[in-house]
Structure formats: C-alpha cells, structure tokens
Amino acid sequence: MTFKWPLGKVPESPTNPRPVGARRDFDVADLYRGPVPDAADGGTGGAPLDEKLRQAYFWIVNSAIISPFYDIEYSDGAPQTFTFGDSAVKVTLPSGQSYSSFVLLSLLNLIVRRRCLIVGGPGRGKTATAILMGVIAGYPIREVKRAIQHGQPQMTIADLLGNPLPRDLVSAESMDAITIGWRKWLGMRVKIIDEYNRIPTRTQSALLTVMGDNYAEILDQIFECPDAAWYLTANDDAGGGTYPVIEALRDRIDVVVKALHFNTRFLGDLLQRVEGGVKPEDVVPPQIVFSEDEIDRMNRDIMAVGLPLPLRRRIEFFCSQFEFCESAASQVEYMTKDTVKLAAMDVGRVMAAETGKDKVRDIGSQTRNGVSVRSLMTLMVFVKAMAYFRGSPEVEIEDVRQMLPFVLHDKLSPNHDSPFFEQAGHGPLRMDRVSWLRRLFDLACAEYDRLDLDRQDPVAAMEAEFAAGLDGLSESVTRARLVAIERLLAEWAKGRKFYGHMFDDVLKLKYLHQRYTNYLRWVRWKG
C-alpha cells in the first residue's frame, strides 16, 4: 500500500450531518465559520474531537493512501454478497460505513497510546503510516523521521537508549555522577521502531523495558518516558527476522495490523504521486493534527464509552473458552493450557488425547493458549475506541467483532491440530488469523445464543445477588444461596461434559460458595 496525493482536503464537518433548528440567540462567532477552517479549534469548527478523529481518518483514506481496503465491515441491513470460484470465495459489499484496518487501527492506537505492530511485505507503507501518525500527533516531520529507530543486527543498547558522557565515565566517582545522553525519541509520545525483528536479542530486552515499563536504564540512571503510541514494523508476521523476537516483547504488542498489497488498478494515482514528488506526511492538513491535550481528552472520552452488561457477558463467554484443558491436571483450578505449557508439554498433543467431547464444536480446542489479562484490557480499550470513533456512546457487538481479531492476532495461538481446521473450507483459516478469530467469536456468540444466556444465566444472577453485599444477610438466606450453588453444580454435572465456558463458571461458583461459607461461619460465631 502506498500513498495517494499530498495536499489533502479534509472532509467537511459534520461527517454525520443532522438538521439544526434556527436559533433565536445567535453566536457572533459564527461569522468565522466558513471555507477556511480554524487551526486553533483543530479546524473542526469547534466540532467534538471524535468528529476530528473521523476527519483525520477520512483524510488519510481519501487523500493520503492509494488503494485503501475496507476490511472492517459494518452493515446497515443485509449487505450484498457475491460468490466466486470453486472455493466459494465470498465478496461482501457492506451496506454501512466500513473502514480500512490498516489506517483505523493505527489511528486508534495513536489516541489510546498502545503498541501497534504493522506487518507486511516491503514497500507497503508500514513506516510511512507510522510517520504519518507522528505528524498527526503534532510532531514536525523531520523530528518524526529522526526519531525512528531502525532495527539492524548491530544495534546496541547505546544505539537505542543513549550514551554516558565520556567525560563522566573518566571523572565520575559514583554511578550517580554519570550523565547519560538519552536519545531524543525516548521522550516522544509517538515511538516508531522500524523492523523490530532485526534488533539483536539483548537490545530487544532493553526495548522491552521501555515498552513495558515506560522507562529506560543505563548505568543505574533512569529516564522516565511519557505515555506514548508505539508503532513497530516487521516484514514477517510471525516475528521472524534476523533475530527471533523474545516472547515478552511480542506479548507487549497490543494490536497487529497488516499492510495489504498494492492494487494495480491504482497505478494512475501512483504515477501522479511520483510526478508530483510530494509525500502525504509532508502536507498533513493542520486541522487534523492533534495536540497532546486533545489526545488526553479523547483518551478520557474513550474510557467513558459504555460497555453494556449483555455485551460484556458475551466477551466473558468468548474468552472463557480457551484456557480450559481438562486433561492438564486432576484439580480443577489447574486444568489449564498454561499448566501444560509450564510442564513443557505440547498443548496440541495433550488436547488430542482428550476424548468424549465434540472437538469441532468445542472452540477451546482451536487454541493452544488462553486470553491473558493484558489482552482483555487491550480489547476493552480498543472496542471502546472503536465505538467512540463511530460516535456511539456505547460499545456494540459489531465493534467487538471487528476489533477482536486485531487485538488477539498474536495473542491467541491457533492449535492447527484441532479437527476444526480439517473441516471443509477451514483450511485457509490456518493462515488467515483475522478471519479465524472473527469466526471464533461468531461461533462463541452462536453457542451463547443457543444456551440462551442473555435470558437464562444463573451464574450472573448469583453474581448480582452477591454484589449486593453480605452485610445483614441472615443465616437462612446464606444457607439458601449455598444450596442454590450446590444444586446448580449438581445439575451441570449431570451433563457429564465439561466445556471451556463452564470452567470459569464453575470456578466462580466455587468462589461464591467459599465466600458464603466463610460468611456463614462468621454469622454463627457472632451468634
């Protein structure tokens, strides 16, 4: 993917126009609403920041990028679908406003200040997109370019972080007296690491400290870094390269997006770009440049976006599927894929040995690990950011469905030995993780609906009862609740099958049972 043309026209606000009534009291400042946007109010004419964010997105996809793809599909009503070829390739024309993941995820990452890995072959605009984000964050283009850390096999920690001043190395009598010349990029709010998989392992560890803990350390000297949006690029999705990427570093990456190929139908635009000799990052309109304060405000606004309880329950249900591994242990708490990994066993093999369950229907069999807390936190941030971007006060299920694959891309590792991948038409899902993860979420939702958990969720009802507090609860009521938990467990046990989603529910019931038991003992003692 390359860039289209330089002097971009920012889409006019509002992007969602609504009729406005005539006002009795006019604002004399309306005099200056006109063809020239005001850079002081972000050029949005005082429009909300989510509007400015959309303007930035649309400027990038309409003016800066050649051949954008619309792979984040939203539909208002049934979309048109066409089927091609023997393998029944479906082409969907979304009926709603759809988005280019490559641009959207990068932009959302800028606002929520997380860590975005852009993967794809050479010359697809990975670094250019990261640079564009730096400019949109308000940094001069020259400063952004100079701050890029280019991964290369000889990169040392000093190259990455800085050097002690030679004079101090000779004359200092203690470590404290050594002054470090820190690299400027450490203090920036947009950090770009180009080809991070070419960085030597030792230097990767130093990078991990900066990425994970937001500080850099050389000779006992500490540099505290500000919260920043990180952009890492790699040619190889699997993290391969000159050096293997250490797992902890990969784990710190929050979202992964792919820079897709160049559509040759846009060669004319490319020619125009070459002839014009202007790069989009050189001509970003000032009205889509965000100040630090604006990004902070958007961050707060994003956190205020609601995540409705029914939707949260679906996310819980989905994520609960993957950690459980029945044959990993004798005690229920340890029946996890993590137990298998810690024992240096192969998760796929252990699960293959399990019998008695429909492994095609059990979506937990499709992964080699569970969803980490860090991934869950990232998922919640990005689904809120997506809802905010779309101007919605609450997260909707489609926001989750669309964001989830990019958050879990490198987090949920597929178990290619699962019978699911042997099913007809599922072969490509071994390679196409975005589609696989989206399918996984769809399957989880279908199961959630089949179990009718929106209406009949006894664990949720018990959670609500418990959340009301134990203060003043009588002995008889406590006993009744204990009995209810025991009955529910007994009922589930009759089903004989123990699936992933039941695992967390059983553990939650055990937790509630324990809390009530302790409380009951205290009530009796109090007498």
Partner 1 sequence: MEGLTPNALGLLRARRHVFNAGFTAARGLVPGLDGQAVLAHLTDTLLPIAEAVAAVHPDRAGETLERLYLLSLDLIGRGVIGPAGRHPVIGDGWRRLLGGLPELTATAPEAMARIVTNALHTLSTTAGTRPGQWIDLMAAVGPVCADDHVFAECGKVAAWRAGMAHYRNGALAVCAGLDASLAAALLELPDPFQTGAGQTGAGRIGAALAVLREDPWRVPAEAATPGTRQRLDVVARVGGFRGFGGPFLTPPRVAVHDGGIAAADAEAAFLLYADACGCLLVRLDQPVLPSSPMADAAFGLFRDGRVDKGGMTGTFPQLAEPSSWASDGDTLAVTLPDSHFVFLVAAS
Residues engaged in binding partner 1 (CB under 8 A): 4-9, 19, 21-22, 24-40, 63, 272, 275-278, 283
In terms of DSSP H, where are the helices of 262-345?
267-276, 292-303, 309-319, 337-342
- CB closer to partner 1, 86 vs 275: 275
Question: CB of residue 44 vs partner 1: minimum separation in angstroms?
Answer: 13
Question: CB of residue 29 vs partner 1: minimum separation in angstroms?
Answer: 7
- CB closer to partner 1, 4 vs 409: 4
3-state secondary structure of 510: helix
- CB closer to partner 1, 24 vs 455: 24
Question: CB of residue 135 vs partner 1: minimum separation in angstroms?
Answer: 16
Q: Residue 429 corresponds to which tokens in the numbers above?
A: 């899902």
CA distance 169 to 181: 12
Question: CB of residue 34 vs partner 1: minimum separation in angstroms?
Answer: 3
The residues near 466 (Cβ < 8 Å, ≥ 6 apart) are 512, 515, 516
CA distance 155 to 162: 12
Closest by alpha carbon to 513, among 490, 472, 479?
479
Question: Is there a contact between 159 and 199 (Cβ–Cβ < 8 Å)?
Answer: no
- CB closer to partner 1, 8 vs 348: 8
- CB closer to partner 1, 77 vs 268: 268
CA distance 127 to 129: 5
Question: CB of residue 259 vs partner 1: minimum separation in angstroms?
Answer: 22
Question: Is there a contact between 74 and 12 (Cβ–Cβ < 8 Å)?
Answer: no
Question: CB of residue 271 vs partner 1: minimum separation in angstroms?
Answer: 11
Strands 89-93 vs 80-84: parallel, antiparallel or unpaired: antiparallel
Q: Residue 243 corresponds to which tokens in the numbers above?
A: 């050096």
CA distance 370 to 325: 10
- CB closer to partner 1, 128 vs 386: 128
Question: CB of residue 45 vs partner 1: minimum separation in angstroms?
Answer: 10
Question: Is there a contact between 102 and 261 (Cβ–Cβ < 8 Å)?
Answer: no
Question: CB of residue 12 vs partner 1: minimum separation in angstroms?
Answer: 10
Please measure the distance between the N-terminal and C-terminal CA atoms of the chain and give it in whole angstroms.
Answer: 73
Number of neighbouring beta carbons within 10 Å of residue 90: 9
- CB closer to partner 1, 22 vs 353: 22
- CB closer to partner 1, 22 vs 467: 22
